[in-house]
Amino acid sequence: MRVLPLLPLLLSGWFAAPAHADEARDWLKRLGQAEQQQSYQGTFVYERNGSFSTHSIWHLVQDGNVRERLLQLDGPAQEVVRTNGRTECVTGKLVSGLAGVSATAVRKLDVDKISNWYSVAKSGDSRVAGRPAAIISLTPRDQHRYGVELYLDKQTGLPLKSLLLNDKGQLLERFQFTELDPHTPEVTSLNPGAQCRQIAALEPKDLVVKQVNNWHSDWLPPGFE
Protein backbone atom coordinates (compact mmCIF):
# COMPACT_ATOMS: atom_id res chain seq x y z
CA MET A 1 0.00 0.00 0.00
CA ARG A 2 1.32 3.41 -0.95
CA VAL A 3 0.72 6.25 1.46
CA LEU A 4 1.12 10.00 1.01
CA PRO A 5 3.12 11.49 3.94
CA LEU A 6 1.44 14.95 3.78
CA LEU A 7 -1.58 16.52 5.36
CA PRO A 8 -4.42 17.33 4.59
CA LEU A 9 -4.40 17.06 -0.66
CA LEU A 10 -4.62 16.20 -12.06
CA LEU A 11 -1.26 15.04 -12.99
CA SER A 12 -0.41 17.98 -15.26
CA GLY A 13 2.75 20.06 -15.30
CA TRP A 14 5.16 17.11 -14.89
CA PHE A 15 7.71 18.60 -17.26
CA ALA A 16 7.42 22.25 -16.24
CA ALA A 17 10.38 24.57 -16.71
CA PRO A 18 12.62 25.21 -13.66
CA ALA A 19 11.13 28.68 -13.26
CA HIS A 20 7.72 27.06 -12.77
CA ALA A 21 9.19 24.69 -10.21
CA ASP A 22 10.63 27.60 -8.24
CA GLU A 23 7.27 29.33 -8.35
CA ALA A 24 5.58 26.15 -7.11
CA ARG A 25 8.00 25.90 -4.18
CA ASP A 26 7.18 29.49 -3.27
CA TRP A 27 3.49 28.59 -3.26
CA LEU A 28 4.12 25.63 -0.95
CA LYS A 29 6.01 27.92 1.42
CA ARG A 30 3.02 30.26 1.39
CA LEU A 31 0.79 27.28 2.20
CA GLY A 32 2.94 26.35 5.21
CA GLN A 33 2.89 29.92 6.50
CA ALA A 34 -0.83 30.40 5.91
CA GLU A 35 -1.86 27.44 8.04
CA GLN A 36 0.14 28.88 10.96
CA GLN A 37 -0.69 32.58 10.45
CA GLN A 38 -4.06 32.95 8.72
CA SER A 39 -7.39 32.85 10.53
CA TYR A 40 -10.45 31.79 8.53
CA GLN A 41 -13.81 30.04 8.58
CA GLY A 42 -15.72 28.18 5.93
CA THR A 43 -17.45 25.05 4.65
CA PHE A 44 -15.83 22.19 2.73
CA VAL A 45 -16.74 18.82 1.25
CA TYR A 46 -14.71 15.64 1.63
CA GLU A 47 -14.95 12.71 -0.79
CA ARG A 48 -13.38 9.28 -0.47
CA ASN A 49 -14.33 5.94 -2.05
CA GLY A 50 -17.52 7.48 -3.41
CA SER A 51 -18.62 8.73 0.02
CA PHE A 52 -19.24 12.46 0.58
CA SER A 53 -19.47 14.53 3.75
CA THR A 54 -19.83 18.26 4.42
CA HIS A 55 -18.07 20.12 7.22
CA SER A 56 -17.78 23.56 8.77
CA ILE A 57 -14.39 24.75 10.01
CA TRP A 58 -13.27 27.61 12.24
CA HIS A 59 -9.52 28.29 12.32
CA LEU A 60 -8.23 30.94 14.74
CA VAL A 61 -4.62 32.12 15.02
CA GLN A 62 -4.18 34.18 18.16
CA ASP A 63 -1.19 35.02 20.38
CA GLY A 64 0.98 32.42 18.64
CA ASN A 65 -1.56 29.62 19.11
CA VAL A 66 -3.63 27.86 16.44
CA ARG A 67 -7.07 26.69 17.53
CA GLU A 68 -9.40 24.84 15.20
CA ARG A 69 -12.91 23.41 15.33
CA LEU A 70 -14.42 21.07 12.74
CA LEU A 71 -18.10 20.11 12.65
CA GLN A 72 -19.65 17.53 10.32
CA LEU A 73 -22.92 18.86 8.90
CA ASP A 74 -24.45 15.63 7.54
CA GLY A 75 -24.87 12.13 8.87
CA PRO A 76 -23.91 11.33 12.48
CA ALA A 77 -22.83 14.38 14.49
CA GLN A 78 -19.03 14.53 14.55
CA GLU A 79 -16.97 17.33 16.07
CA VAL A 80 -13.26 17.86 16.70
CA VAL A 81 -11.53 20.72 18.53
CA ARG A 82 -7.73 21.06 18.32
CA THR A 83 -5.14 23.48 19.69
CA ASN A 84 -1.67 23.61 18.13
CA GLY A 85 -2.34 20.29 16.43
CA ARG A 86 -3.37 18.47 19.63
CA THR A 87 -6.89 17.08 19.81
CA GLU A 88 -8.74 18.43 22.84
CA CYS A 89 -12.21 16.99 22.41
CA VAL A 90 -14.22 14.86 19.98
CA THR A 91 -17.72 13.44 19.63
CA GLY A 92 -19.30 10.18 18.53
CA LYS A 93 -17.23 7.29 17.19
CA LEU A 94 -14.10 9.41 17.07
CA VAL A 95 -13.69 9.15 20.86
CA SER A 96 -12.41 5.56 20.92
CA GLY A 97 -9.98 6.17 18.09
CA LEU A 98 -8.37 9.20 19.70
CA ALA A 99 -8.25 8.21 23.34
CA GLY A 100 -4.83 8.63 24.87
CA VAL A 101 -3.25 10.58 22.04
CA SER A 102 0.15 12.13 22.53
CA ALA A 103 0.64 15.86 23.06
CA THR A 104 3.08 16.17 20.15
CA ALA A 105 2.64 19.42 18.22
CA VAL A 106 1.57 19.37 14.59
CA ARG A 107 4.39 19.03 12.07
CA LYS A 108 5.16 21.98 9.83
CA LEU A 109 5.32 21.71 6.07
CA ASP A 110 8.91 21.08 4.93
CA VAL A 111 9.22 22.11 1.27
CA ASP A 112 12.76 20.75 0.93
CA LYS A 113 11.69 17.28 2.07
CA ILE A 114 8.70 17.33 -0.25
CA SER A 115 10.98 18.17 -3.18
CA ASN A 116 13.08 15.09 -2.39
CA TRP A 117 10.17 12.77 -3.14
CA TYR A 118 7.95 14.79 -5.49
CA SER A 119 8.39 16.84 -8.64
CA VAL A 120 6.65 20.11 -7.79
CA ALA A 121 5.28 22.43 -10.49
CA LYS A 122 2.72 25.20 -10.98
CA SER A 123 0.45 23.76 -13.67
CA GLY A 124 -2.14 26.50 -14.11
CA ASP A 125 -4.76 28.74 -12.54
CA SER A 126 -8.38 28.15 -11.61
CA ARG A 127 -11.19 29.27 -9.31
CA VAL A 128 -12.56 27.43 -6.28
CA ALA A 129 -15.42 28.67 -4.08
CA GLY A 130 -15.45 31.83 -6.19
CA ARG A 131 -11.80 32.61 -5.37
CA PRO A 132 -8.79 32.71 -7.75
CA ALA A 133 -6.44 29.79 -7.16
CA ALA A 134 -3.01 28.59 -8.30
CA ILE A 135 -2.77 24.89 -9.24
CA ILE A 136 0.29 23.14 -7.79
CA SER A 137 1.01 19.57 -8.94
CA LEU A 138 3.06 17.14 -6.85
CA THR A 139 4.17 14.19 -8.97
CA PRO A 140 5.82 11.31 -7.04
CA ARG A 141 9.38 10.40 -7.95
CA ASP A 142 8.87 6.71 -7.05
CA GLN A 143 6.14 4.07 -6.91
CA HIS A 144 5.53 4.40 -3.17
CA ARG A 145 3.58 7.67 -3.20
CA TYR A 146 0.37 9.08 -4.62
CA GLY A 147 0.14 12.20 -6.75
CA VAL A 148 -1.43 15.38 -5.41
CA GLU A 149 -2.96 18.43 -7.03
CA LEU A 150 -3.38 21.48 -4.79
CA TYR A 151 -5.48 24.55 -5.53
CA LEU A 152 -4.10 27.35 -3.36
CA ASP A 153 -5.94 30.59 -2.70
CA LYS A 154 -4.08 33.45 -4.39
CA GLN A 155 -4.93 35.92 -1.63
CA THR A 156 -4.03 33.87 1.43
CA GLY A 157 -2.15 30.74 0.25
CA LEU A 158 -4.72 28.50 1.95
CA PRO A 159 -5.66 25.19 0.28
CA LEU A 160 -9.05 25.65 -1.39
CA LYS A 161 -9.01 22.17 -2.92
CA SER A 162 -6.81 19.09 -3.01
CA LEU A 163 -6.98 15.93 -5.11
CA LEU A 164 -5.24 12.65 -4.26
CA LEU A 165 -4.55 10.58 -7.41
CA ASN A 166 -3.19 7.13 -8.15
CA ASP A 167 -0.60 6.32 -10.83
CA LYS A 168 -3.37 6.18 -13.46
CA GLY A 169 -4.61 9.66 -12.58
CA GLN A 170 -7.76 8.28 -10.94
CA LEU A 171 -9.24 10.27 -8.08
CA LEU A 172 -8.86 8.63 -4.66
CA GLU A 173 -9.70 11.51 -2.36
CA ARG A 174 -11.02 15.07 -2.67
CA PHE A 175 -11.06 17.99 -0.24
CA GLN A 176 -12.74 21.18 -1.50
CA PHE A 177 -14.04 24.38 0.04
CA THR A 178 -17.47 25.52 -1.07
CA GLU A 179 -17.17 28.73 0.96
CA LEU A 180 -14.16 30.43 2.55
CA ASP A 181 -14.10 33.59 4.65
CA PRO A 182 -10.47 34.67 5.35
CA HIS A 183 -11.39 36.77 8.35
CA THR A 184 -10.95 36.11 12.05
CA PRO A 185 -13.88 34.06 13.40
CA GLU A 186 -15.56 34.92 16.68
CA VAL A 187 -13.80 33.23 19.59
CA THR A 188 -17.13 31.79 20.75
CA SER A 189 -17.53 29.93 17.44
CA LEU A 190 -14.64 27.67 18.50
CA ASN A 191 -16.32 26.62 21.74
CA PRO A 192 -17.06 22.86 21.63
CA GLY A 193 -20.59 21.54 21.72
CA ALA A 194 -22.07 19.83 24.75
CA GLN A 195 -21.38 16.34 23.32
CA CYS A 196 -17.68 16.98 22.66
CA ARG A 197 -15.72 14.79 25.08
CA GLN A 198 -12.33 15.82 26.43
CA ILE A 199 -9.32 13.80 25.27
CA ALA A 200 -6.50 13.37 27.76
CA ALA A 201 -3.02 13.67 26.27
CA LEU A 202 -0.49 11.03 27.27
CA GLU A 203 2.51 12.11 29.28
CA PRO A 204 5.89 11.27 27.66
CA LYS A 205 6.60 8.50 30.21
CA ASP A 206 3.23 6.87 29.49
CA LEU A 207 3.74 7.18 25.76
CA VAL A 208 6.99 5.21 25.90
CA VAL A 209 5.30 2.36 27.76
CA LYS A 210 2.37 2.33 25.35
CA GLN A 211 4.60 2.21 22.28
CA VAL A 212 6.45 -0.88 23.48
CA ASN A 213 3.56 -3.10 22.40
CA ASN A 214 2.75 -1.23 19.18
CA TRP A 215 3.45 -2.84 15.81
CA HIS A 216 6.45 -1.75 13.78
CA SER A 217 7.69 -2.16 10.23
CA ASP A 218 11.02 -3.74 9.31
CA TRP A 219 11.19 -1.56 6.17
CA LEU A 220 9.75 1.78 5.12
CA PRO A 221 10.16 3.62 1.80
CA PRO A 222 12.62 6.54 1.92
CA GLY A 223 11.04 9.59 3.53
CA PHE A 224 8.35 7.64 5.43
CA GLU A 225 8.05 7.59 9.25
Q: Tell me how far apart the alpha carbons of residues 14 and 24 are, in angstroms, rounded to a whole number.
A: 12
* Domain 18-212 fold: outer membrane lipoprotein receptor (LolB), chain A (2.50.20)
pLDDT in tens, 8-43: 333 233 333 344 678 999 999 999 999 899 999 999
Residue spans per domain, the chain: 18-212
What are the angstrom distances between the C-alpha of 173 and each of 80, 91, 109, 176, 206? 20, 23, 20, 10, 35
Look at residue 77 and tell me whether its pLDDT is greater than 50.
Answer: yes
Query: Which pLDDT belongs to residue 93?
Result: 66
pLDDT in tens, 126-164: 999 999 999 999 999 999 999 999 999 999 999 999 999
Q: What is the mean pLDDT of residues 178-207?
A: 82
CA dihedral of residues 7, 143, 174, 125 (deg, nearest 10): 90
- Nearest Cα neighbor of 38 from 134, 181, 176, 174 is 181
Q: CB 13: neighbour CB atoms within 10 A?
A: 22
Q: Name the band, by pLDDT with cuts 50, 70 and 90, for residue 200.
A: confident
Q: Name the band, by pLDDT with cuts 50, 70 and 90, for residue 216.
A: confident
pLDDT in tens, 90-114: 997 655 444 444 444 556 788 888 9
Query: Which pLDDT belongs to residue 16?
Result: 36
CA dihedral of residues 195, 196, 197, 199 (deg, nearest 10): 170
